[in-house]
Structure formats: C-alpha cells, structure tokens
Amino acid sequence: MRAKDQSTAERPSLASLDVDGTGGPAESPMQRGSRALLRDINVSLLIELVRRSGAISRADLARQSGLSAPTVSTIVGQLLERGIFIEVATAPSNGGRPPVLLSVDPKAGYVIGIKLRGDGLTTVVCDLDAQVIATEEASASLVGDPAAAIQAIEQETRRALRAAAVPRSKVLGVGIGLSGVIDSSRGVCDFSHLLQWRDADLAQPLRRRLRLPVWVDNDVNTLAVAEKWAGDALTARDFVTLSVGRGIGLGIVIDRSLYRGARGGSGEFGHMIVEPGGPKCECGRFGCLEALVGEDAMRRRVGERHGREVSRDEFIAFAAAGDGATLEVLDSAGRKLGLAVANMITLLNPELLIICGEGTDLGSPFLTPVVTAVREQTFADLGRQVEVKIQRWGNDVWAVGAATLVLRESFSLPGPDEKSHAIWHRPGPER
C-alpha cells in the first residue's frame, strides 16, 4: 500500500500552471500527460465509479466497469501515482488476502468558480468534492463593461488562490457562470440582458492572463452540473433545475447530458411570454413570465399594497411574519409559476425537479402553490410522479456551480466531434 502521508511534492501533479502570469510554460509535459490520462474514456469511467461509491476495490471496479482486471490495474496504478486515487482501507475478506479499497482524494486538485453579477462577483476555490476551501466577494460595476469583468476575474482569481493557500500545481481551471445566452464551446457571452453584453469573449483573454483553462456557461446550467456532480441529481437521468429569484431559469439534463440548445439559449424559462401585452420585462418585451412572478415584480406589488417601496429584506420579513398583502402576492405568483412549470413537466417528463435560487428564501407561502400546481396541472399525472426537491440557498451556491463546471470538463470525454461530453455517460464494456 502506498504511504498515506506521502507529500504532494513527491507526486506528479494534476496541473502545473503559472497562475501568477510571471512567465514560463503554461503547461508542463506532466500536465499534458495528466490531462490526456483524465480524458481517456476508461479512466473517466473508473474515476466516476470510485467517486460515486466512496470506496471500492479493484475487483469491484472491474465488475462494474466491464473492463479487464489488467486494464483496471494499469489505470489504477497511474491514478495512484498522480495522487488522484488513494488507498483508504481494506475490505472484509472471505478468505485470502483482503481487498484494498480505493477512493478519490478530494485534495488531488482544486477548481475556481466565479459567479458574475451586474454589481460584482463571487469567487470560490473548491476541492474535487466541490467543497468550498475559500470564498471571496468583490464589488465592481460590470453592466455594459466586459473588460471590467475580465480584469475583476483575474484579480479575484489570484486573491482567492492566495486565501485558499492551495498548491498552484493542483489548480485545474476556472469556471464562470453568468446570466445570458452563452456559447460555451467558445467561452463567449452572445447576449446578456442583465449585464447588457453582446459578443463578450471571456475565455480566451482569461486563459492568456491566468494561464489556466477557463470555461464559461449560463449560470443556471452550472447549477444543474453541480447537482449532477455532487448533489441531489447524482443518480438521475432526466432532471431540471428551476432557479427562482430576480430571474427565472431552467437547467435541463436529458439522458444525463446538459441540454443547451442549438445556440446556447435553452432554459430561458422566464422569458416565455405568458401574458401578451402584460408588464414590461427587463429584456424589453412584454408579458414574460419573469415580469409576472420574478422576485422584483412580486416586491413591487407588495410595495404598491403598502404604499411605499419595500426592500428585499422587508419583503422576506413580511412573508415570514404572515403579512396578508404579501401572502396574497406570493400565492398568486406561485400559482402562475407553478402552472408554467407544470406545462414544462408535461413537455419534458423529468424524474426530478430541483427548485433553487434566492427566491427559495420566501418559503412555503411562495413554494407550496408552485408544487401544488405541478402536482395538479400536468397531463396524465406526470406531476405526481416527479420528485421535487427544494434546495437551501446560500450566497456562494452560484459560484460553486461554476466550479463544478471545471470538474465536469476536467474529467470529461471527447466525443465523435471532439467536443467534450460529461462522464455521466457510461461507456460500454471494454472491447
């Protein structure tokens, strides 16, 4: 058994990158070899099986993967050498030598996740279990200014890495989540009405500045990736994440693959027009779902009932205190949103619906009518069969979602078109 106290300095690292931008090669030969190893289809399969099981023997890996014992032994040896796998215990034996159990070392690599807002960004450093090691908050005016965002991301990435005190050689990359239509293959924000950006290239300039891999995606998509990586959707095949708050968005996973649509615009659920000629939406159109049931819209209606502007904190306090006007607004909005979600359930027939976002702070007065409508308003009782989970919310959840985007892409498989596909797809047996 490999000694558990072997120092990381003695092992070849997952990454060997100059994150300070002080010069030198962006990627060492060992780093290139490690990335090639991780992207091998059989390697990715074994990593996924070990990660899901928590601890597993080589023999069980061979049985579950369909790979031959010699192939498993070779791959495991490489992953042990790089510190991705560790030997954690021995399993009970029915006779003979007890099998050694393998686990993924969460400290074998680290990822950076960033959530962009109009007024700033949240940055986290996470380990391979998507556990937060360090969090940084920064204020910056990013509306209409992608260049300011690039500068802020560079600065906050360096600051977060210093705060986390993790070895630079173990940083796998940076994930960025933001609202809008995102061309994730190029790392370009095609359009964001919240940030007022068009054709904003984030990935390429940040890769040059940070000397790190960079991935960019719609922020609600990153929440779906996080749920699949280490959340409630770990074993789900077809599920959706519904983000409620200022905006209303969907992350859609079909047959274990994130669905982005032809142009990266899938999941813009809040911008379905449900009331033609209705209230003006931030996107410039009228009658969007978001303009009717988004948090800002509800808060304005509560303010009208009270005859004054109501802050978000007051809005949440009114809901918790059972204020009559607030409860009426929440119930009405919840029913409208629930009907739209029920129609989506009828269309997609997911097995799991995860409701998340800052709007969950409003509690049962808002969420109960949503779930009730889902149960009652779908075709053929599909809504009664879907599992519904409501996630507790925290300020750094968006950034953790972006961080898991890096985990997914770092341990991904090249498809026939050379674009990566998640290791959620289990390959067939070895041929």
CATH of the domain at 312: 3.30.420.40
- With respect to residue 429, please indicate whether it lies within any of the assigned structural domains: no
pTM of the model: 0.83
- With respect to residue 1, please indicate whether it lies within any of the assigned structural domains: no
- The structural domain count of the chain equals 3
Residues 340 and 327 in one domain: yes
- With respect to residue 427, please indicate whether it lies within any of the assigned structural domains: no
Residue 32's pLDDT is 54
Residues 74 and 93 in one domain: yes
Kindly report, residue by residue over 108-164, the tens digit of the pLDDT.
999 999 999 999 999 999 999 899 999 999 999 999 999 999 999 999 999 999 999
Residues 359 and 239 in one domain: yes
Residue 95's pLDDT is 62
Which residues constitute the domain of residue 34? 8-106
Rounded to whole angstroms, the Cα distance separating 353 from 356 reads: 10
Rounded to whole angstroms, the Cα distance separating 2 from 40 reads: 24
Residue 23's pLDDT is 32
- With respect to residue 347, please indicate whether it lies within any of the assigned structural domains: yes
Helix pair angle (69-81, 58-65), 10° resolution: 120
Kindly report, residue by residue over 195-216, the tens digit of the pLDDT.
999 999 999 999 999 999 999 9
Residue 38's pLDDT is 53
pLDDT of residue 425 exceeding 50: no
Residues 78 and 147 in one domain: no
List of long-range contacts for 190-193, beta carbons under 8 Å, 24+ apart: 190/263, 190/264, 193/282, 193/283, 193/284
Residues 203 and 149 in one domain: yes
Residues 193 and 271 in one domain: no
Residues 84 and 132 in one domain: no
Residues 78 and 127 in one domain: no
Residues 38 and 95 in one domain: yes
Domain with 87 in it: what CATH number? 1.10.10.10
Kindly report, residue by residue over 37-82, the tens digit of the pLDDT.
555 778 888 988 898 888 999 999 999 999 999 999 999 999 999 8
**End-of-domain residue from the set 81, 106, 131:** 106
Kindly report, residue by residue over 244-255, the tens digit of the pLDDT.
999 999 999 999
Residues 75 and 133 in one domain: no
Residues 215 and 116 in one domain: yes
**End-of-domain residue from the set 64, 82, 106:** 106
Confidence of residue 267 (pLDDT cuts 50, 70, 90): very high
Residues 245 and 288 in one domain: yes
**End-of-domain residue from the set 44, 75, 106:** 106
In the chain, pLDDT over 70 holds for what percent of residues?
85
